[in-house]
Amino acid sequence: MDKVIIAQNLSLSYKEFETIISKATFSIDAGSFVFITGASGSGKSTLLKSFYGAIEPRAGQLSVGGVKMNRISTSKLNFLRRHIGIVFQDYKLIKEWTIEKNVMLPLIISGYTSDVSGTPVQKLLGHVKLIHQAGKYPPELSGGEQQRVAMARALAHNPILILADEPTGNLDEYSSSVIWNLLEGANTQLKTTVVIVTHHIPEGLNVPYKHYHIEFGNIHEIA
């Protein structure tokens, strides 16, 4: 099976003499559904950041979607990011843009005009039950609604990999279920690899998943 993420002796840190992830070796199969758990400050989010190039490996090797992340060039990083969908805990929506345009962002970046991207975006907004809010701006929506917009945006460009950092951390039950359904759907129907960093794994998931746990800078798989 193809590997989407390969880490060999991967060490991550923000400062020189501080190690957050130490010599981690693991791989994530294409089309898999993966949870990464750990206590607060264990380095879950840092690890996720390394997958989209927000932090460079201090030591070891990391490859995402076949792209080596060590000393990655800006153009390669941009190319990789155009094939990744990211869901952040704090949504990271553009406040000055409408919901519809926010969802369109990855398509705009890929060079699609609004005429072309309009229909798939409308469909996605339908999936996240926000079609009637398309013309509104993020500050006008609740946290749950904003996260659903972020979810729709992550799926808009049909990415090979979805990275989600606590996607349902502070959300109501309804928004959480919409998001889990979409993540499951992307994985089962589109074979998108899904990597989720979370404090706890929800019950009643309908997809098989792998579970990695981070403790004291080490990452190990939980069977």
The nearer residue to other proteins, 76 or 136, going by C-beta atoms, is: 76
Interface pick for other proteins out of 14, 66, 70, 82 (rule CB under 8 A): 82
Q: Give the angle subtended at the CA of 152 by the CAs of 149 and 154, to the nearest 5°.
A: 110
The nearer residue to other proteins, 39 or 94, going by C-beta atoms, is: 94
The nearer residue to other proteins, 24 or 196, going by C-beta atoms, is: 196
Q: Report the candidate in 130, 65, 118 with the shortest Cα–Cα distance to residue 93.
A: 130
91 close to 39: Cβ distance less than 8 angstroms? no
Please tell me whether residue 44 binds other proteins under the rule CB under 8 A: no
Please tell me whether residue 116 binds other proteins under the rule CB under 8 A: no
Q: How far is the CB of 51 from other proteins (least distance, A)?
A: 12
Of the candidate spans 29-37, 78-86, 139-147, 194-202, the one that interacts with other proteins by CB under 8 A turns out to be: 78-86
Interface pick for other proteins out of 57, 106, 120, 144 (rule CB under 8 A): 106
Any bridge partners for residue 163, and if so which? Answer: 86, 195
Q: Where are the beta strands (DSSP E) in the chain?
A: 3-12, 21-29, 33-38, 59-64, 67-68, 84-87, 161-165, 193-197, 210-215, 218-222
